[in-house]
């Protein structure tokens, strides 16, 4: 079964995705990373994507869903996919559900829970450590968190209604969170 990871920026879902993938053989589809690669490519599309990322706005729906569809269709059905950062809003959820249904793939969602202040502290620390300019601006971080609350939380709530969501506390150590994640699965 495929997995979809949800969590406010800074919740550590990317770190946990890497650990889970290494131990259980998941292929990671990390929307932010895929979009950053496109943004760095220098192509016309890359420049467009870079503008959205730099301003802390969501990349347009059509672009993201094309990338997701290709990711799903180009992987063998036997390959387990871990989606990190998709779907982020209702329209993406509807298209994601359709893509997964048409591909004959089922999924479970994990929601990493973290307080906004703790998330901001992590993000600012990561920005310094990794020289990620898009993470160093508190205004952009706040905008992204507001977008998550307004756009993504309703998606999580919708998946909760259908019993597809497991919640994991993202407080504490990386190892402790990982153990909670494995218990949830």
> What local confidence, expressed as pLDDT, does residue 137 receive?
76
3-state secondary structure the chain: CEEEEEECCCCCHHHHHHHHHHHHCCEEEEHHHHHHHHHHCCCHHHHHHHHHHHHCCCCCHHHHHHHHHHHHHHCCCCCCEEEECCCCCHHHHHHHHHHHHHCCCCEEEEEEECCHHHHHHHHHHHHHHHCCHHHCCHHHHHHHHHHHHHHHHHHHHHHHHCCCEEEEECCCCHHHHHHHHHHHC
* pLDDT, tens only, 74-114: 899 999 999 998 998 999 999 999 999 999 999 999 999 99
Name the nearest CA neighbour of 121 among 5, 6, 4, 8: 8
The pLDDT assigned to 74 comes to 84
Q: What is the pLDDT of residue 135?
A: 59
The pLDDT assigned to 132 comes to 60
> 1: burial class by Cβ within 10 Å (0-12, 13-18, 19+)?
exposed
Higher per-residue confidence, 67 vs 78? 78
Higher-pLDDT residue of 36 and 20 is 20
Model pTM score: 0.83
**pLDDT over threshold 70, residue 6:** yes
**Mean pLDDT across 31-57:** 84
Q: What is the pLDDT of residue 84?
A: 92
Predicted confidence band at 48 (pLDDT cuts at 50, 70, 90)?
A: confident
The rounded percent of the chain whose pLDDT value lies above 90 is 56
Tens-place pLDDT, residues 117-160: 888 888 888 777 776 665 567 888 888 899 899 999 999 999 99
In percent, the amount of the chain with pLDDT more than 70 equals: 97
Pairing state between β 2-7 and 81-84: parallel
Residue 34 has a pLDDT of 81
Counting Cβ atoms within 10 Å, is residue 36 exposed (0-12), middle (13-18) or buried (19+)?
middle
Query: CA-CA distance, 123 to 115, in Å (whole number)?
Result: 12
Position 131 scores a pLDDT of 63
């Amino acid at each position: 079964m495929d997995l979809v990871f949800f969590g406010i920026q800074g919740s550590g879902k990317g770190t946990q995705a890497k650990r889970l993938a290494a131990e259980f053989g998941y292929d990671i589809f990390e929307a932010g990373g895929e979009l950053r690669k496109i943004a760095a490519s220098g192509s016309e599309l890359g420049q467009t994507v870079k503008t959205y990322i730099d301003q802390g706005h969501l990349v347009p729906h059509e672009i993201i869903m094309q990338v997701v569809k290709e990711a799903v269709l180009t992987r063998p059905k036997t390959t387990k996919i871990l989606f990190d950062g998709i779907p982020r809003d209702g329209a993406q959820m509807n298209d994601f559900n359709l893509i997964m249904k048409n591909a004959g793939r089922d999924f479970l969602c994990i929601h990493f829970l973290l307080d906004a202040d703790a998330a901001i502290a992590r993000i600012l620390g990561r920005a310094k450590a990794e020289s990620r300019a898009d993470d160093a601006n508190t205004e952009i971080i706040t905008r992204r968190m507001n977008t998550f609350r307004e756009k993504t939380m309703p998606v999580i709530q919708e998946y909760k209604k259908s019993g597809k969501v497991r919640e994991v506390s993202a407080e504490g150590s990386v190892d402790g969170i990982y153990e909670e994640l494995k218990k949830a699965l």
